[in-house]
Chains A and B, each alone.
Chain A
Amino acid sequence: MIEKITPEILVEALKSGDRNEFARLVDAYSGPIYRMALKMLGDQQDAEDVLQNTFLNAFKHIRSFEERSSLATWLYRIAANEALMMIRKQRHETTLTDTSLEDDEGEDYSPLQFVDWCCLPEEELLSSEARSHLDQAIQHLTEKLRIVFILRDLEGLSIEETSQVLNLSQTAVKTRLLRARLNLREQLSCYYGERLRDRSKAK
């Protein structure tokens, strides 16, 4: 999907070590990769490390890129692995018992919040405070759900592209996407529900 908005990068030129083409590749994809890493990790320094490692690895392994997926999908895959590795490493440094990714299987995702906050005006739904809350809510998702949500709903990859990036079945991607969205809806309902109450008190 992202391919459509970026200038065409010549894979053959990358493989032959054309520095100019590498520079074009970095400029075309560093924005989305940095944003993905920032949303995934919630820290600018960590996101910058992931950004640098992604392109270092891409340069190192470009010759083995077989073009079975698009260049964008391939780069997102490297970046997603880098981000998940960083999370694992950080977790290993803080706890000695669990180095695996958080498990979200078996959790109940039934809705609990039934406040209709859709009537709030757009400027309130997207105020700078609300935007910062939208970002924080993503950080409360487990990594498995967060990466799927970021790729699909923020970066605009299709279900198929997301499944290629994460090496997951499309069914697994859909299940995780639904859980992520439902979880975010619960969090946003608490936040915007408060805003609704504030408004009715103010009247």
Chain B
Amino acid sequence: MTKSMECKFLLEALSDYVDGTLSEELCEKIQRHITECQNCHIVVDTLRKTVYLYHATASEPANVPPNVRDRLFRSLNLEDYVE
């Protein structure tokens, strides 16, 4: 496989790789490739970090502002549950 083909393969397998759902054999293939290809190494690291940052922002509790909750309950005729 030429280097550019390896880069293309890495790109296609990237999500599975960072999610840890790629087979061991293919993981090893990617690990070998990124020791030789600096650009792919950066793409793997920064993609993993991108996913991590979004996970970090989404791990905070999802709350509905109190006035939005009040209007929601009223629109559903559940006003007796408005606190």
Report which A residues bind B (CB closer than 8 A): 19, 22-23, 26, 30-32, 34-35, 44, 48, 51-52, 55-56, 59, 109-111, 113-118, 125-126, 131, 134, 149, 153-156, 174, 177-178, 181-182, 184-185, 188-189
**Does B26 lie at the interface of the complex (its beta carbon under 8 Å from any beta carbon of A)?**
no
User: Which residue on B lies nearest to A189, using beta carbons?
Assistant: B46
Chain B 40-83 interface residues, beta-carbon cutoff 8 Å to A: 42-43, 45-47, 49-51, 53-58, 61-64, 68-69, 71-73, 75-76, 78, 81
Interface band, chain B = 20 to 34
**Does B39 lie at the interface of the complex (its beta carbon under 8 Å from any beta carbon of A)?**
yes
Interface SS, B side: helix
A131 to B54, CA, bound (A): 9
Name the distance in Å between B35's Cβ and chain A's nearest Cβ.
15
Name the distance in Å between A179's Cβ and chain B's nearest Cβ.
9
Residue A118 contacts which of B45, B57, B69, B72 (CB distance < 8 angstroms)? B45
Q: Return the 9 tightest CB-CB contacts between A and B, nearest first.
A: A31-B62, A35-B62, A154-B58, A23-B81, A178-B15, A185-B50, A116-B42, A52-B75, A114-B39
Residue B68 contacts which of A51, A115, A155 (CB distance < 8 angstroms)? A51
Residue A51 contacts which of B16, B53, B72 (CB distance < 8 angstroms)? B72
Name the distance in Å between B63's Cβ and chain A's nearest Cβ.
5
With a cutoff of 8 Å between Cβ atoms, the chain B residues found around residue A48 in the complex are 68, 71-72
With a cutoff of 8 Å between Cβ atoms, the chain B residues found around residue A185 in the complex are 43, 46-47, 50
